[in-house]
Amino acid sequence: MKVVKKIRKLSLARYLQILNYSIRNMSSSKDEKYPFYASLKVTSRCHFACKFCDMKNFQTPDLPTEDLKKIIRNLGRSSLFLLSLEGGEPLLRNDIEELLKEAHKQPFYLLFTTSQKNLMDYPWDKYQEYIDFLHISIDEGHDNMHLFDKLKEINRFNMIVCVQTVVAKEDQEKLEDKVSKCYYSGSKILIMPAVHLDNTEDHFPDFGRLEKQIIKLKKDYPETIITPNSYFSAVRRKKGGCSPSSIIIDADGGLFYPCRTLKEKTIKLQEDDLMKFINSGRSAELRKQMSACGRQCGWYQYFATSRFSGFSDIIDATGPYLREFFLGRKFEE
């Protein structure tokens, strides 16, 4: 039976809080500090050794369930609008449903990122109760291209499905085929370049060409690609293109700040309050390091989340979701 479900609504008070934090970021462009998006690595374990990823060089023991729940509640008390539970491979944790339940209780949207090859073997009929957005990492690096053929099946569940694909220079020609499969399955797609991290091979694509490809593909496959156009101009800036409105928490609870590329960990979020740190002088000094950095690494979330500071860019990034938010989406039940 086909039913229509809309994206879950947060409370009006929460939307007003987020708006207030966004206005404060915009009005203080020299110290944009409040985070809206967080990536929480619930494990560093992974079945893959992607050529563009350095995760295999930083294996960290998994935290106990209760410590991760403390971190999730800490994030729930912050300015966060969207939390991504990811890894490594989060489905390798035996307590993942308990963590999903805890995250669902918090006043933010929950995104779950996986690249597991046997994706359909997991109980999505249960997990869909807690997940707002399901991101599936599919690309040549993960050796899981067959999952494109599973998108229609996974779209039966009440989650907004988005493919997250990393584009390496040797795979750039194949981009349209990936976007097409997402479009015809009713899925979204987030397109990111293969960032050249320390101690990894360089697979960074032709950046100018990638920008042209995405602009064209947005016209050919409307309401599908969520990579904002302004991401490219932000990366090209020699300094100040990144944004601390996105944060990454490692599998040991350590907060990478100001960014993951620089690899500096600061506080442990199972012990220290995030908002207290964000408002501290120490974090302000670290944000100055970010604004002065000229590395131009292209790490997607540090460039793209600053788009919360511009209305037209918000529409560009969220446009593919607006139909589901206001009108809902048909899916099989």
Calculate mean pLDDT across residues 295-309.
50
Does residue 239 surpass a pLDDT of 60? no
Contacts of 7 (CB under 8 A, 6+ apart): 132, 160, 321, 324, 325
Report the range of poorest mean pLDDT among 115-129, 196-210, 309-323: 309-323
pLDDT for 304: 46
pLDDT for 303: 43
Tokens of 177: 């085929």
Q: How far apart are CA 24 and CA 8, in angstroms?
A: 26
Instruction: Convert the pLDDT of each residue in 31-88 to its tens digit.
Output: 789 999 999 999 988 765 555 555 555 678 899 999 999 999 999 999 999 999 998 8
Instruction: Convert the pLDDT of each residue in 151-203 to its tens digit.
Output: 999 998 989 999 999 999 999 999 999 999 999 999 999 998 887 766 667 78
Express as a percent the part of the chain with pLDDT over 70.
79
Residue 178 contacts residue 148 (beta carbons within 8 Å)? yes
pLDDT for 309: 46
Residue 284 contacts residue 31 (beta carbons within 8 Å)? yes
Q: Based on the structure, what is the number of domains in the chain?
A: 1
Residue 56 contacts residue 44 (beta carbons within 8 Å)? no
Best-predicted range by mean pLDDT among 50-54, 123-127, 256-260, 292-296? 123-127
Q: How far apart are CA 327 and CA 333, in angstroms?
A: 18
Does residue 277 surpass a pLDDT of 90? yes
User: Nearest Cα to 163, choosing from 32, 229, 154, 213?
Assistant: 154
| Tokens 């998994």 -> residue | 62
Does residue 137 surpass a pLDDT of 70? yes
First CA to last CA across the chain, in angstroms? Answer: 5
Domain that includes residue 223, residue range: 2-332
pTM for the structure as a whole: 0.85
User: Which CATH number does the domain housing residue 81 bear?
Assistant: 3.20.20.70
Tokens of 277: 């740190």
Does residue 126 surpass a pLDDT of 90? yes
Q: How far apart are CA 18 and CA 283, in angstroms?
A: 20
